[in-house]
């Protein structure tokens, strides 16, 4: 028998991350009346050592739709993003972003730190549509993407943004000692300009740098508690 390709059967609806699917092999998969969607698995994320924990399954189709959505946001145009070929490096970057979002979601859920509200989801949708310069409904039509899948992507992004606001962006002040230490070290993008001239942007730079490091620490700790596996094609 030849090699067996690992795919996933997704039952009934898209959940953005697959919570109601099961890994199967291609020769076993069936899709009567469109009830099942058969797709290739590209990553697993799940809590290590906990049999009862949720296992998130990321499929190639979800990866592609999120990649095209990200590209459309960058280009401020849906049609151009849908027509372009997606480089493998970009797809890999998108998959790593999805995995990081799932790890943040796992930590937020484990510690009961955040619950996303309908208002926050609506605000996230508005931000995406502003970057698209069009509606998500239009994106779904042009990209032939299920609205349920796109809605799940929006909700996941809203949850991550809410988590970051409430748990990462807590420190919004910089001490004088930290300001002077960063300035004299030269580890900033403002060159030799006088400190008083760049005080405000330097403070913003230090805050953003600290927040990125704090988020990186959260994701690193989450990886220790979760199994993450990317599956090559």
pLDDT surpassing 90 at residue 78? yes
Contact between residue 14 and residue 146 where contact means Cβ atoms under 8 Å apart? yes
Compute how many other C-beta atoms are within 10 angstroms of the C-beta atom of residue 113.
13
Q: Is 42 helix (H, G, I), strand (E, B) or coil?
A: strand
Pairing of strands 226-230, 6-11: unpaired
With 50 as the cut, is the pLDDT of residue 60 above it? yes
- The 10s digit of each residue's pLDDT in 82-111 is 999 999 999 999 999 999 999 988 888 787
Distance CA 217, CA 167 (A): 12
Average pLDDT over residues 4-12: 42
Instruction: Check residue 53 and give its pLDDT.
Output: 52
CA distance 86 to 170: 36
The torsion region of residue 89 among left (phi > 0), alpha (psi -120 to 50) and beta comes to alpha
Span 173-183, pLDDT tens digits:
788 899 999 99
Question: What are 103-158's pLDDT values in tens digits?
Answer: 988 888 787 776 789 999 999 999 999 999 999 999 999 999 999 999 999 999 99
Tell me how far apart the alpha carbons of residues 115 and 162 are, in angstroms, rounded to a whole number: 8
Q: What are phi and psi of 192, to 5 degrees?
A: -100, 15
């Amino acid at each position: 028998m030849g090699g067996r390709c690992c795919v996933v059967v997704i039952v009934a609806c898209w959940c953005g991350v697959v919570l109601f699917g099961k890994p199967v092999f291609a020769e076993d998969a069936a899709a009567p009346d469109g009830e099942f969607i058969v797709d290739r698995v590209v990553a697993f994320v799940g809590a290590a050592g906990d049999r009862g924990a949720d296992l998130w399954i990321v499929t190639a189709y979800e990866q592609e739709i999120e990649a095209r959505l990200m590209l459309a946001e960058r280009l401020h145009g849906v049609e151009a993003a849908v027509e372009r070929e997606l480089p493998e490096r970009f797809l890999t970057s998108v998959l790593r972003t999805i995995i990081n979002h799932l790890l943040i979601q796992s930590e937020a859920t484990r510690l009961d730190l955040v619950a996303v509200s309908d208002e926050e989801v609506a605000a996230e949708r508005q931000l995406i549509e502003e970057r698209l310069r069009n509606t998500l409904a239009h994106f779904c039509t042009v990209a032939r993407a299920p609205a349920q899948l796109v809605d799940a992507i929006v909700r996941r992004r809203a949850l991550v943004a809410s988590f970051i606001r409430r748990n990462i962006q807590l420190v919004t002040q910089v001490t004088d000692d930290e300001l002077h230490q960063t300035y004299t070290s030269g580890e900033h993008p403002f060159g030799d300009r006088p400190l008083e001239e760049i005080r405000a942007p330097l403070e913003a730079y230090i805050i953003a740098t600290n927040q990125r490091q704090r988020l990186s620490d959260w994701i690193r700790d989450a990886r220790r508690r979760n199994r993450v596996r990317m599956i090559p094609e």
